Amino acid sequence: MVKKFKNIIGVCVVFLCISCNKQLDLPLDGRITMEEVFSDYNRTRGYLNSCYGYAVSPILSRSSFTDEAQDSEVIISGNQFLNWYNGNVTSSNFGSVSPDGSPWGQLYQGIRKCNVFIENIPTSTAFASETTKAGWKAQAHALRALYYLQLVKRYGSVPLIDKELPVGSDYTSIRKASVAEILQFIIQDCREALAAPNEQDGFSWNIYDNQFRMMTRGVPYAIISQAITYASSPLFSDGSITAESATAINAEALGALLANDYKLFDVQPTAGNAENSYALYFLTNPDDQRSVDKETIYGLGGRQEVWRYAGLPSTANQERAGHCPTQGLVDAYEMANGQSPILGYQDADKLLPNINTASGYDPNNPYVGRDPRFYASIFFNGASKTSREQGYEEYPITLQLGTANQMVIKEENGYYDIATTGGDPFIQTSPLTADLKLFPSITLEFEYQSTTGINRPELFFSPIAGGRSTTYPNIPAAADWTKHTIDISASVARLNWGKSGNNLRFDVGVDGNRSIRIRNIKLIEQSVASSNLVETFVGGNDQISNNSRKNTRTGYYLKKYFSHSSNLNSVADGFMRLFRLAEIYLNFAESAYQSHGPDVKIAVGNQMMSARDAVNFVRARAGMPEIPAGLSKEQFELRYRNERRIEFAFEDHRYFDVRRWKILEQTDRFVTGMRIEKVGNNFTYTRFKFENRNAWEDKFLLYPINKSEVDKVLRLTGENWQNPGWLE
């Protein structure tokens, strides 16, 4: 019997997890007893510190294991990505092929540490106040909850161990708990943490200036929110957790965070710093004191080196292109007006898109007028490498009411209300008060609402005369305020327009009985030096390639986290986060639309919020128009899942989302790219498909437990712990 116990101790880390953190763990070999540890303030605090460090950080490379990216490393024989794409994955080699190895043992070591601390701190005689000890215990409960959440996301059902198992225990009685039981335990642990005093010496919302990545009250709420969202997902739901209870828990978590000064990051970047607030957020160091960054709840993740390991080959000292965004992901980004550019595909290989012409999408100029998060996340052919650094100017524009023709126009509440009455409705803009700098990119932008849309809008460039006009794509109907962008660069150059005193005539379509409201009209011009443009076309400086690890495989490069200031001597790239407020908004939306529908408002703290409201809060920060009211549950689900895909692109969510939704077979069979060729001054765009992947079967919904461990547990206990499909 003793020999049996020694075997179990040696091979199954879940039972004892006795390997130690060399820096923080304390020797328990007779030199010091556990009683002595918990009778001393510094030793007790040191043991708590040793409970940290076992969480799995978000991993950027996981994107290449999803439909977000195709990795440039596949050209290397035996590479982990190539093995994954080919399906050469078993329970024996999974640790060397998967994005984060097999963290089973690591997480159970952390759980054992927390169990020891939670059991001993109530009887600790260390010189510390009861409030302090309660705060310490709360941290351990929060950490244990996090470790179990990370286990469940990967392995599903796992053993639930909530106390230290001394040598000599009957380990053969340990069984795997159901996912529902574990997730309920996670929530209970978080409740235990939140029961501690909300005081600076207890378990508060804030931390001291000299503390770093410590648990605060915000973290258990984030853990609860993700746990209940996963628990009610198709992969894990067993019916024991209703959609209504999931919504109530998510509403509680979101309400608590909003009431305690968490908010979406909305700091505006300076010229050359970032494209927009969304881009700047990922270049900003997670702020533990929340003086600037009030969105991050737990900043575990660390600084990335995109410039070097997922960068542009035209960047000095870049080593590889890494995680190359797919065409499917690019297609998922909406137009800036909130409409989808692609409405599905005509073929199984997704090479013939159904183009939504009403959206304004132009397949010959596919990167114009897209969701601002697209420009913050992906480098495409013609993109600037330096985010406005060469110049950026805005010019406010007003309409001259006295020039209106065949229309009724009123100015009220900050917008123009226009109703056309004939077949030639037009109005002139105010004249420019200064010469344009004539930067290469010049656009006319405005926000609008329209129940009818506008057919064939036309701009005349003064002096008004025949041949000095351009007709643009239709402006689609939009119930909510929607941003609309018209690229006038070519017309400005062709007509030599842009001097002080020049103005525009806006022809509001070609028929009467049309209505539109317009506000915030402005001209925007940006300067981008030709040497500063990304060139993914064949023969370009960043050209697509099938045989170079330094070049994109898909026609795109990752921009999220990238800083043009990074180099070998100074890395300025951005940071990943484990939890941020946008996730809690969307977690609430996911449960709320399932329990109440998209538009029913529910109490969230001191405000009322629907699932649609929650999604629209996230979209508003990105500068995107609202999702309209009145969608069915099924319609809203499509919009919601796409929103989550875009908002969390390259943040380690997509891998788990498609699995918990059980749509892996739909998303991960293959990916596509875009091959661009330059012909004169024009480009041709050709979609192409990569070879089929073979990591989409149901067994890939969960990690396998290492085969050697499973075999030994089976031999010693008679229980087979392996996950479905991994029995080899």
pLDDT of residue 362: 92
Report the chain's terminal Cα–Cα distance, integer Å: 29
Per-residue pLDDT of 57-87, as tens digits, reads 999 999 999 999 999 999 998 899 999 999 9
Average pLDDT over residues 345-351: 98
Q: Are strands 378-379 and 353-355 parallel, antiparallel or unpaired?
A: unpaired
Over 70: is that where the pLDDT of 168 sits? no
For tokens 């050709």, the residue is 686
Q: Which pLDDT band, with edges at 50, 70 and 90, does 666 fall under?
A: very high
Q: Which pLDDT band, with edges at 50, 70 and 90, does 16 fall under?
A: very low
Per-residue pLDDT of 135-148, as tens digits, reads 999 999 999 999 99
**140 neighbors 199 (Cβ within 8 angstroms):** no
At 510, the amino acid letter reads: V
pLDDT of residue 403: 96
**125 neighbors 40 (Cβ within 8 angstroms):** no
DSSP 443-467: EEEEEEEESS-BSS-EEEESSP-TT
Per-residue pLDDT of 92-128, as tens digits, reads 999 999 999 999 999 999 999 999 999 999 999 988 9
What is the rounded average pLDDT for all residues in the chain? 91
**418 neighbors 409 (Cβ within 8 angstroms):** yes
For tokens 């109703």, the residue is 419
pLDDT above 90 as % of the chain: 77
Q: Considering just the CA atoms, what is the radius of gyration of the chain in Å?
A: 28
Over 90: is that where the pLDDT of 55 sits? yes
Beta-bridge mates of residue 517: 417, 449
Per-residue pLDDT of 497-535, as tens digits, reads 999 999 999 999 988 899 999 999 999 887 655 568 999
Over 70: is that where the pLDDT of 19 sits? no
CA distance 253 to 225: 6
CA distance 554 to 564: 21
Over 90: is that where the pLDDT of 28 sits? no
Q: Which pLDDT band, with edges at 50, 70 and 90, does 466 fall under?
A: confident
Give the SS3 label for residue 176.
strand
Average pLDDT over residues 159-178: 82
Q: Which pLDDT band, with edges at 50, 70 and 90, does 273 fall under?
A: confident
pLDDT of residue 493: 85
- Domains, the chain: 1-59+100-204+697-728 (1.25.40.890), 392-527 (2.60.120.430)
With a CB cutoff of 8 Å and minimum separation 6, the contacts of 251 are 588, 592, 602, 603, 604, 605, 609
pLDDT of residue 681: 79
- List alpha helices for 287-363, DSSP H: 306-309, 327-332
pLDDT of residue 387: 66
Query: Residue 517 is encoded by which pair of tokens?
Result: 């409201």
CA-to-CA dists, residue 79 to 82, 162, 198, 296, 528, angstroms:
5, 39, 49, 34, 38
Average pLDDT over residues 640-668: 98
Give the SS3 label for residue 156.
coil
pLDDT of residue 542: 97
For tokens 């800083």, the residue is 563
Between these two residues, 324 and 484, which has the higher pLDDT value?
A: 324
CA distance 91 to 260: 44
CA distance 217 to 262: 12
**pTM score:** 0.81
Query: Residue 688 is encoded by which pair of tokens?
Result: 């192409």
Average pLDDT over residues 271-286: 89
pLDDT of residue 490: 84
Per-residue pLDDT of 600-622, as tens digits, reads 999 999 999 999 999 999 999 99
pLDDT of residue 270: 80
pLDDT of residue 1: 36
Beta-bridge mates of residue 602: 609
CA distance 428 to 405: 9
pLDDT of residue 209: 65
CA-to-CA dists, residue 460 to 427, 457, 470, 492, 573, angstroms:
10, 10, 7, 11, 44
Q: Which pLDDT band, with edges at 50, 70 and 90, does 6 fall under?
A: very low
- Rounded to 5°, the CA angle 368-267-602 comes to 90
Per-residue pLDDT of 404-421, as tens digits, reads 999 999 999 899 999 999
Over 80: is that where the pLDDT of 29 sits? no
For tokens 């648990």, the residue is 215
pLDDT of residue 715: 82
CA distance 219 to 143: 9
Over 70: is that where the pLDDT of 716 sits? yes
Give the SS3 label for residue 302.
strand
At 22, the amino acid letter reads: K
Q: Which pLDDT band, with edges at 50, 70 and 90, does 630 fall under?
A: very high
pLDDT of residue 175: 86
For tokens 């309209």, the residue is 628
Q: Which pLDDT band, with edges at 50, 70 and 90, does 7 fall under?
A: very low
